[in-house]
Structure 1
Amino acid sequence: MSSFANESHLRRTPVVPDPNGTEHWFVTSHAPVEDCANAFTAFADLSRIEVWTVDALMAQAGAGGVHALPTAIARWFPEEADLFWALEHSMHRVHAGLRIYAVGAGQFTHSVRQLAGRIGIAPGLVRISHRGAD
């Protein structure tokens, strides 16, 4: 059994920010509202936060889907493929101090970690939270 198969049966664990990070990317797709709200509360005191999320309505309304919020930059995408394309290109320009937090279904969070690994971002810098199997 692969490590991902073992991961997919774990109960949800909240994402805990790494205080050593200097830039924080919160990446989500179809995560329960409660999980997102809990994460945003945990991230409230951090600086340099970017929220990457799949939300077709917000992406359409946002005409490009990137907005500066009082405490974060939000990026909305109509589909996961669009999010992963943009995420991959942005990961190529990262610097030391980046932390990535992925919240959503098991396959989504696994894909975020896998993409980061291909770019050369250490697995320990990608924290995930998901609910059970897809």
Structure 2
Amino acid sequence: GVVRARALAKRLDDAPLAIVDKRREKAGVSEVMNIIGDVKDRFCILIDDIADSAGTLCNAADALKAAGASDVVAYITHGVLSGEAVNRVNASSLRKLVITDSILASDTANASPKIRQLPIAPLLGEAIKRIADETSVSSLFD
């Protein structure tokens, strides 16, 4: 994940990068161990592929705030948000959690003032069109 994070930071005009080091002792249980990088007085963006219980995500947000981050938001591709995840997000240090509609959000998630769901249909449609037209799909991300 660090290699992908560096590539994304570079695409964001060489944005500063911090890494949240975590350990997962068993499925569904994680502990934030270390923050590598300076986050004091910084606006922090957490990016991940999946949030199921949202435990790791909320622990990371809390750790960033404890390390002096001014604000923390998260962008997640697939918001599973099972069990108490929405309540966990609502009680966390996260200001906003942005997810895609690759998984239909629950009524509880839709009602949360901290959770926003974005549609991916336009992106998928454009990718399919480009494949059919034999044009570049990767340029969608330039």
Same fold (TM over 0.5): no
More strand by share: 2
Higher relative contact order (CA 8 A, sep 6+): 1
TM-score (norm. length: structure 1): 0.31
TM-score (norm. length: structure 2): 0.30
